[in-house]
């Protein structure tokens, strides 16, 4: 991508989750970081609109938790600010606060646990809270001081979060005697939405249908009903729902078995060639001499190691691209750099651009390819990209 490093940006200090400092691009100051994360605005909006097209009767709520799956919470929320969506979905109160400090005006839905005392003291405006446990509701109903919209999360069988069926009557009673609480929605989470055996999902959907009817009879205020995350979109046709939470699909990954959506990966990790050296047969590269040359080679040193999200399991296994050529990683992945065999890319020079993670799903260094190499899932590869790396919104 020629010229990407010449983009203009200015740092916007925000309080990110876990208290780290993030940045958001607006015209102003040249960023000099060697490693940058490019975020395709076009691809992100394409993915959102693809789900809206395929599911026109469902409100699509983008999930931006965990630093927008590694893509950058302020950057992604900035792109989505002009879109018609019911909520931006986050996991924590700190993420909701970060959204407001990033100047997002969208409604926020927090789906993770928040201490009731923190809800009272710190919840931002236009933020809805998912109630994930009966004890949480007991405590909150006693101390709440201002009106709060809530979604009741129902445990339909995953046994991770949610109100159990045995606590339904108590939950309804607690809410009815607390006028400051308004039940705006109900939700659940599907444990095995795309599994080969649908029996467990069918049981969850039956439990959901019964619970949905039960709470509908108790509260006329319910506006949103949501079951599906990205892998569960097929379930929404079999459930009483009108909203879905779009997570990994928003970022261009169809993790369903039948790959039914036309999605485009959003993220690209970029670096530069920092050093080039020739080695002879019998010489080694990197820590512990895990790679030994069998013939004369040309080795480039590239900024970017396991601190920057390049998994150590890619040692002697992974790939990068430079000059439109795929080059293997040789030697151990270090904390902040890798060695790359550029023998077959002789035109490579110091300062040239290098793609560490590619948007092209067919590339050997795409996020999906990397996940398969190291035996994990794209979610983990993306979530391990540190927040402090600058994100650049690519508009072309």
Active-site positions? 65, 287
**Residue 168's CB: how many other CB atoms inside 10 A?**
18
The sign of the dihedral angle between the CA atoms of 134, 135, 136, 139 is positive
Q: Are strands 181-187 and 224-226 parallel, antiparallel or unpaired?
A: parallel
* Phi, then psi, of 244 in degrees rounded to 5: -140, 150
Q: Which two tokens stand for residue 220?
A: 């006329």
Contact 262, 252 (CB under 8 A): no
CA distances from 28 to 11, 12, 25, 311 (A): 9, 11, 9, 33
Q: What angle do CA 170, 174, 178 make, to 5 degrees?
A: 170
Sheet containing strand 108-110, strands side by side: 59-62, 243-246, 224-226, 181-187, 148-153, 127-131, 108-110, 88-90
List all residues 6 or more positions away from 286 whose beta carbon is below 8 Å from its beta carbon. Answer: 315, 330, 331, 332, 334, 339
By C-alpha distance, which of 297, 318, 298, 322 is closest to 306?
A: 318
DSSP 196-265: S-THHHHHHHHHHHHHHHHHHHH-TT--EEE---GGGGGGGGGSS-SEEEE-GGGGT---SSS--S----
Query: Taking the CB of residue 45, how many other CB atoms lie within 10 A of it?
Result: 17
Q: What is the DSSP string of 150-172?
A: EEEEB-SS--SSSB-GGGHHHHH
Structure-token pair, residue 22: 């993030």
Q: Which residues contact 10 (CB under 8 A, 6 or more apart)?
A: 25, 26, 27, 28, 29
In a 10 Å sphere around its CB, with 0-12 CB exposed, 13-18 middle and 19+ buried, how is residue 93 labelled? buried
If you search the block for the tokens 């693809």, which residue do you land on? 50
């Amino acid at each position: 991508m020629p010229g990407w490093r010449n983009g203009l940006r200015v740092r916007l200090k925000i309080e990110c989750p876990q208290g780290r400092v993030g940045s958001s691009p607006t015209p102003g100051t040249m960023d000099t970081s060697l490693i940058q994360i490019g975020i395709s605005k076009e691809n992100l909006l394409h993915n959102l609109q693809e789900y809206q097209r395929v599911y026109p009767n469902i409100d699509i709520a983008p999930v931006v938790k965990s630093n927008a799956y590694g893509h950058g919470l302020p950057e992604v929320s900035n792109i989505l600010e002009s879109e018609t969506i019911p909520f931006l979905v986050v996991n924590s109160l700190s993420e909701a606060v970060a959204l407001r400090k990033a100047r997002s005006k969208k409604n926020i839905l927090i789906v993770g646990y928040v201490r009731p005392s923190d809800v009272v003291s710190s919840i931002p405006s236009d933020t809805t809270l998912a109630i994930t446990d009966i004890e949480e509701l007991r405590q909150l109903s006693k101390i709440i001081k201002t009106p709060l919209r809530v979604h009741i999360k129902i445990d339909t069988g995953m046994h991770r979060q949610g109100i159990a069926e045995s606590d339904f009557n108590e939950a309804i009673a607690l809410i009815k005697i607390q006028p400051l609480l308004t039940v705006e929605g109900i939700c659940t989470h599907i444990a095995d939405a795309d599994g080969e055996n649908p029996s467990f999902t069918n049981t969850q959907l039956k439990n959901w249908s019964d619970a949905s009817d039960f709470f509908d009879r108790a509260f006329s205020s319910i506006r949103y009903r949501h079951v599906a995350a990205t892998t569960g979109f097929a379930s929404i046709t079999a459930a009483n729902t009108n909203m879905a939470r779009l997570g990994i699909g928003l970022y261009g990954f169809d993790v369903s078995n039948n790959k039914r959506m036309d999605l485009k990966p959003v993220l690209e990790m970029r670096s530069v060639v920092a050093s080039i050296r020739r080695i002879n047969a019998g010489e080694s590269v990197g820590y512990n001499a895990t790679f030994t040359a069998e013939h004369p080679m040309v080795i480039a040193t590239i900024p970017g190691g396991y601190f920057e999200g390049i998994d150590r399991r890619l040692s002697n296994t992974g790939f990068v691209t430079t000059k439109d050529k795929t080059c293997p990683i040789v030697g151990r992945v270090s904390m902040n750099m890798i060695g790359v065999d550029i023998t077959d890319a002789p035109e490579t020079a110091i300062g040239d651009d290098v793609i560490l993670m590619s948007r092209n799903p067919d590339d050997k260094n795409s996020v999906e390819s990397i996940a398969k190499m190291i035996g994990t899932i794209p979610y983990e590869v993306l979530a391990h990209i540190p927040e402090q790396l600058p994100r650049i919104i690519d508009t072309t």
